[in-house]
Structure 1
Amino acid sequence: MIQLITLVHLRRYSAGDQGGTPVIEHAAAPVHVEHLRPGDHACVEFDDVESRWEVLTAFAQIGLARGERVMLLLDPDDLDDAATVARVDDGTGVAAGAHEHGHLVVARNTSLYFPDGRFDADRTRRAYAAATQQTVDDGHHALRVAVSMAWAPRAGWSDDELMAWEGSAEHLFRPARFAALCWYDRARFSEHMLAGAREIHPVHVLDRLSMLEVTRHPGGARIAGSGSREELTRVLTDVLARGPEQSPLHFELDLAGARDVDAHCAWMLIDLAGALPPADRLVVRCDRSLEMVLRGLGADAVPQLELAVASDLNDAAGVA
Structure 2
Amino acid sequence: MAEGAGAFGGAGGARTPRTVAVERLGPGDHACLPFDRSEGRWALRAAFAAAGLARGERVLLFPGAGTDVSRTLERLDAHGVPALQAAADGRLDIVRTTPGCDPVRGFDPVARTDYWANAADDARTRGFTGLRAAGDMACVAEAGADAAALTSYELGLTPLLAKLGFTGLCEYDRHAFPPDVLDAVVGAHPLTVVPAPGTLHATRDGAVLRLAGDADLATRTAFELAVREPGLTAIDLTGLAFLDAHCARELVRLGAAASAFDAAAGSGGAGVALECTPAQARLLRLCGMRQPGHLVVRGEG
User: Aligned with 1:210: secondary structure?
Assistant: coil
Amino acid in structure 2 at the alignment position of 1:122: V
Residue of structure 2 equivalent to 1:143:
131
Residue 293 of structure 1 pairs with residue 293 of structure 2: no
* Bigger-Rg structure (1/2): 1
What secondary structure sits across from 1:189 in the alignment? coil
2:204 to 188, 210, 216: 216
Q: 1:107 to 1:117 in 2, by over 3 A?
A: farther
Aligned to 1:264: 246
Number of the residue aligned with 1:199: 187
1:72 — aligned with what?
61
1:152 matches 2:137: no
Residue 20 of structure 2 aligns with which residue? 31
Is 2:199 aligned against 1:253?
Answer: no
Q: TM-score, normalised by structure 2?
A: 0.77
Determine helix, strand or coil for the equivalent of 1:128. Answer: helix
**Higher mean C-alpha deviation, range 185-194 or range 221-230:** 221-230
For residues 140 and 246 of structure 2, the distance between their equivalents in structure 1, rounded to whole angstroms, comes to 47
Displacement of 1:171? 4.9
Farther-moved stretch of structure 1 (33-42 vs 163-172): 163-172
Shift of 1:85: 0.9
Partners of 1:47 and 1:186 within 8 A in 2: yes
Report the counterpart of residue 78 of structure 2 in structure 1: 90
Deviates more, 1:209-218 or 1:36-45: 209-218
Contact 1:42 1:180 in 2 (8 A): yes
* Cα offsets for 1:58-97 (capped at 9, x unmatched): 11111111111111112224x4100001111227572101
Q: Secondary structure at the match of 1:175?
A: helix
Q: Return the TM-score normalized by structure 1.
A: 0.73
What CA deviation, in whole Å up to 9, does each residue of 1:6-58 have, x standing for no partner?
A: x999xxxxxxxxxxx97979645211111111222211111233111010011
Corresponding residue of 1:43:
32
CA distance, structure 2, for counterparts of residue 64 and residue 240 of structure 1: 37
What pairs up with 1:103-182 in 2 under 5 angstroms? 103-110=91-98, 113-114=101-102, 117-182=105-170
Which of 1 and 2 has higher RCO (CA within 8 Å, sep 6+)? 1
How far does the alpha carbon of each residue in 1:170-227 deviate from its partner, in whole angstroms, 9 at most, with x for none?
4532433322111111122222222212321122222122122122344444322224
Instruction: Tell me how large the CA RMSD over aligned residues is.
Output: 3.4
Q: Cα distance, 1:132 vs. partner?
A: 1.4
Structure 2 Cα separation of the partners of residues 166 and 137 of structure 1: 26
Could you tell me the percent identity over the aligned residues?
30
Alpha-carbon spacing, 1:217–1:262, altered in 2? closer, same or farther (3 Å): closer
SS in 2 for 1:49: coil
Pick which of 261-270 and 132-141 moved more: 261-270
Q: Which runs of 5+ in 2 are unaligned?
A: 263-268
Aligned to 1:60: 49
Among 222, 233, 237, the alignment partner of 2:225 is 237
CA distance in 1, matches of 2:42, 2:72: 9
Note if contact 1:70-1:143 (Cα within 8 Å) is conserved in structure 2.
yes
Residues 116 and 134 from structure 1, CA distance in 2 versus in 1: closer, same or farther, beyond 3 angstroms?
farther
Would you say the 8 A contact 1:70–1:104 is kept in 2?
yes
Number of aligned residue pairs: give it.
Answer: 279
